[in-house]
Amino acid sequence: MDFNLPEELIELKKSVREFVGNELLPIQQQVEKEDKIPDEVLKKMASLGYFGFPFPEKYGGVEIGYLGYCLALEELGRANAAYSNIIGAHTSIGSSSIYYGGNEAQKQKYLIPLAEGKKLAAFGLTEPGAGSDAAGIRTTAYKKGDHYYINGQKIWITNGPYADVVVVYASTDKTLGPKGVSAFIVEKNFPGFVVGKTDEKMGLKGSHTCTLYFEDCEVPEENRIGPEGTGFYTAMKTLDGGRITLAAGAVGAAQALLDLSVKHATERVQFGKPIGANQAIQWMLADMEVEIHAARLMTYHAAWKLDNGQRVSHEAAMVKVYASEMANRVADKALQIHGGLGYMQEYSIERAYRDARILRIYEGTSEVQRMIIAEDLLKAVRKD
């Protein structure tokens, strides 16, 4: 068992770290205040292949696998959460739906420009009455001639306000439940596609969500991903990868908070000595280090299994629930260590504290992940 990373992935991690330090960290407060990532920064990220890390080169990707992709997202997690959020929605779940379920023509037409960062993707699954219960979606699609017509709405869609392509999940046969769900590639200019107002959120400034409306939205038959009724399977397979990569961003964000906390603990003097000399602070730092290390190893292992073609639903659920909750605990300790400074908006601690909270909710709440894990355990017992 070799825990050493391949040299090419070490170089990748180093290059992304340098980009984050040179390009992203200097503007982190600007992004927070303006609620916008400068267009030139996103274009530079696209030119460097950041929007197609895991995909094969023949589809416009960098072909570094999910382990390499996680290493990159871990480094991006050190900056505003908006960056890894935009790329995660675009790559991990939006474009990946096409990669996993799409045919060759769809990959040529859509995946290549998406992986090259020339177009932006979104993932349309969540609805007002179907968040954790993804199988209960009410958006419908009926076929007439050589087109499908989609009706319904999707909420809190990351990249929704400006996505060029949205993979939309809709029921083509409501009597079949999840087996009646189909997936469709919807372009923003298709008739009946309406973008709602941008949501106002607690955190994630610079990454935007909105409600998408479908009013007899006209979609060509060739834009259906896979046969009818296979959409739910595609969504679940896609979310496995999404949960692992989300964990990678959480690890990076937590590591950045620990680094700041260690620095602060050595520089902040109270009662004639650095606060890091106090056991209370030392124990918080130690707990942060232990949890980050555990989450990192869990993330790398799950990504390695995915790269080797193994089933990862169980590992994806475990790493998602652990890393997301770990990031929240680390953020809380970091703010406590920084005291009043951590509560001030001009410092990154307060922002990271707010950004971390969504991790326990999107791409499957902590409660849903525990349900998945427990169900797997109980199934194993029943088989015995």
Residue with tokens 């056991």: 279
What gap in Å lies between CA 334 and CA 292, rounded to an integer?
13
pLDDT in tens, the chain (384 residues): 789 999 999 999 999 999 999 999 999 999 999 999 999 999 999 999 999 999 999 999 999 999 999 999 999 999 999 999 999 999 999 999 999 999 999 999 999 999 999 999 999 999 998 877 877 899 999 999 999 999 999 999 999 999 999 999 999 999 999 999 999 999 999 999 999 999 999 999 999 999 999 999 999 999 999 999 999 999 999 999 999 999 999 999 999 999 999 999 999 999 999 999 999 999 999 999 999 999 999 999 999 999 999 999 999 999 999 999 999 999 999 999 999 999 999 889 999 999 999 999 999 999 999 999 999 999 877 776
Nearby residues of 49 by Cβ (< 8 Å), 6 or more positions away: 61, 62, 117
The pLDDT, as a whole number, for residue 79 is 96
CATH class of 236-383: mainly alpha
Distance, in Å, from the CA atom of 10 to the CA atom of 18, rounded to the nearest integer, reads 12
pLDDT at 372: 95
At the top level of CATH, the class of 121-232 is mainly beta
Q: What is the dihedral of CA 77, 83, 84, 89, to 10 degrees?
A: 170
What's the pLDDT at 120?
98
Residue of 11, 63, 363, 375 marked active site: 363
Give the pLDDT of residue 384.
Answer: 63
The structural domains of the chain, with segments of one domain joined by +, span 7-115, 121-232, 236-383
d(CA 76, CA 93): 17
Q: Residue 96 and residue 167: Cα distance in Å, rounded?
A: 10
DSSP per residue over 272-334, as a string? Answer: TEEGGGSHHHHHHHHHHHHHHHHHHHHHHHHHHHHHTT---HHHHHHHHHHHHHHHHHHHHHH
Which pLDDT score is estimated for 133? 82
CATH architecture for the domain at 7-115? Orthogonal Bundle (1.10)
Q: Is residue 228 annotated as part of the catalytic site, yes or no?
A: no
Q: Say whether 269 sits in a helix, a strand or coil.
A: strand
